[in-house]
Chain A
Amino acid sequence: DAKTTQPTSMDCAEGRAANLPCNHSTISGNEYVYWYRQIHSQGPQYIIHGLKNNETNEMASLIITEDRKSSTLILPHATLRDTAVYYCIVRVDTGRRALTFGSGTRLQVQP
């Protein structure tokens, strides 16, 4: 699976959009981009995933660049409860391998 690079930490003001970047320059054509988050003392939670088109769900939007070498997770109106570690993961969707979590980005939403 392709390696991902994320900033170690970010701050965001409550009510503003949080934009979390992820670089995956070695991504191959059949690898998906997944985002998970882990709120303190809880298990990770799935947020969203995509292949090449932008995706949106009730939690977030995922913007993938045309060359697929990077992506951005957008939380449109961050709340204090969005404070968490956000993991960007790239994986072939063959179902034969477990997800590999990196260090993620620690997002701190400020009041």
Chain B
Amino acid sequence: GAGVSQSPSNKVTEKGKDVELRCDPISGHTALYWYRQSLGQGLEFLIYFQGNSAPDKSGLPSDRFSAERTGGSVSTLTIQRTQQEDSAVYLCASSLNPAGNTGELFFGEGSRLTVL
């Protein structure tokens, strides 16, 4: 597809379970971002991948959160031992090599996570 693809679109899980959220960025985009948005709140930065550089993990809220980006393309955000406060929409975005570019991020539709 032409846009950023995220799956699943909706995920309901029980407290304490692990979840994996997937992001397929736009082909050729070297930068990939994960954000989360709790109900009625703004976007919270989680992690940023740029090419082969070490990711910027400064936004990850706890060590239960981790993310990988394999082959410079698809990314997986993993949340271990989920808690109710993890319930949110998890948004992925990608952009072209951001050095000197327009700064335009292309967002997916998000994965809505509900932890019961």
Interface residues of A (CB under 8 A from B): 32, 34, 36, 42-46, 49, 87, 91, 93-104
**Alpha-carbon gap, A36 to B106, bound state (A):** 11
**Alpha-carbon gap, A46 to B31, bound state (A):** 16
Inter-chain contacts of B109 with A (CB < 8 A): 42-43
State the Cβ distance, B13 to closest chain A Cβ, in Å: 21
Residue among B50, B91, B93, B105 making CB contact with A96, cutoff 8 Å: B50
A45 contacts B107, C-beta separation under 8 Å: yes
Please, which residue of chain A has its CB at the minimum distance from the CB of B41? A103
Count of CB-CB pairs between chains A and B under 8 Å:
64
Given A49-B102, A91-B103, A95-B101, A102 contacting B110 (CB threshold 8 A) = no
What is the interface of chain A mostly: helix, strand, loop, or mixed? loop
Interface residues of B (CB under 8 A from A): 4, 31, 33, 35, 42-43, 45, 48, 50, 56, 59, 91, 93, 97-110
State the Cβ distance, A68 to closest chain B Cβ, in Å: 16
Please, which residue of chain B has its CB at the minimum distance from the CB of A34? B103
B105 contacts A44, C-beta separation under 8 Å: yes
State the Cβ distance, B38 to closest chain A Cβ, in Å: 13
A98 contacts B108, C-beta separation under 8 Å: no
What is the interface of chain B mostly: helix, strand, loop, or mixed? loop
Given A49-B102, A95-B99, A43 contacting B42 (CB threshold 8 A) = no
A95 contacts B42, C-beta separation under 8 Å: no
Residue among A97, A99, A103 making CB contact with B105, cutoff 8 Å: A99
Inter-chain contacts of B107 with A (CB < 8 A): 42-45
B93 contacts A95, C-beta separation under 8 Å: no
Given A95-B50, A97-B56, A98-B56, A46 contacting B99 (CB threshold 8 A) = no
B48 contacts A97, C-beta separation under 8 Å: yes
Q: Which 5 A-B pairs have the closest CB atoms?
A: A43-B107, A95-B98, A95-B99, A101-B43, A46-B104
State the Cβ distance, A83 to closest chain B Cβ, in Å: 16
Inter-chain contacts of A87 with B (CB < 8 A): 42
State the Cβ distance, A48 to closest chain B Cβ, in Å: 9
